[in-house]
Each structure stands twice: as C-alpha cells, then as structure tokens.
C-alpha cells in the first residue's frame, strides 16, 4: 500500500481511498488552502515601523562542538 505524509501535519496516511489527499484530513487541506490564499491575497499596506532591527548582526556563539568517537 502506498503511504504518503500529509504536507501539513506530517501524518502518514494511505494514498488510496483518501479523499483529502495529499492531506490527511479536510482540516489540513483547508489550513493549507487558507495559507496560500492568505499569501495570495495579501494586501500591500504600511508595515509596522516598530521593529527597526537592521544592522547589528551578533556573531553566533558556541559553535565548537566536535564530533566525538562513536562507540558502537
Ligand atoms: Zn494532516
């Protein structure tokens, strides 16, 4: 049996006999549909100028993890 993962929630479900495919349920289908509709019909308006965080990019600390020996 062919099994696919719901692109919305990742639930594994059989492909055959699924009326909501590629989603697992109507809910996930609507969520995804609403997502791209919302993106498509986004009204270009004035953005909130509260967050003015441009520039100042702090270096990411703590990237000295070494790959230790793997004992199997
Ligand atoms: Zn789902």
The rounded Å distance from CA 6 to ligand 1 centre is: 5
Give yes or no for a contact between 41 and 56, defined as CB atoms under 8 angstroms apart.
Answer: no
Query: What is the pLDDT at residue 56?
Result: 73
Distance 20 CA to ligand 1 centre (A): 9
58 torsion bin: left (phi>0), alpha (psi -120 to 50), beta (else):
beta
Residue with tokens 């990411």: 60
What's the residue count for the chain? 72
Q: Which residue has the tokens 């009204």?
A: 43
Tokens of 23: 């989603």
Report the separation in Å between the CA atom of 36 and the middle of ligand 1, taken as the mean of its atom positions: 16
**Domains (range + CATH), the chain:** 3-40 (3.30.50.10)
Ligand 1 midpoint to CA 43 (Å): 28
pLDDT in tens, 12-66: 999 898 899 889 999 999 988 888 888 777 767 776 766 666 677 777 777 666 6
Determine contact, residues 53/46, Cβ cutoff 8 Å: no
Q: Does the pLDDT at position 72 exceed 70?
A: no
């Amino acid at each position: 049996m062919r099994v696919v993962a719901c692109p919305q929630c990742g639930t594994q479900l059989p492909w055959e006999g699924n009326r909501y495919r590629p989603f697992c349920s109507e809910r996930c289908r609507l969520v995804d549909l609403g997502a791209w509709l919302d993106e498509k019909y986004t009204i270009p308006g004035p953005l909130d100028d509260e967050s003015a965080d441009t520039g100042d990019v702090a270096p990411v600390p703590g990237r000295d993890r070494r790959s230790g020996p793997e004992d199997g």
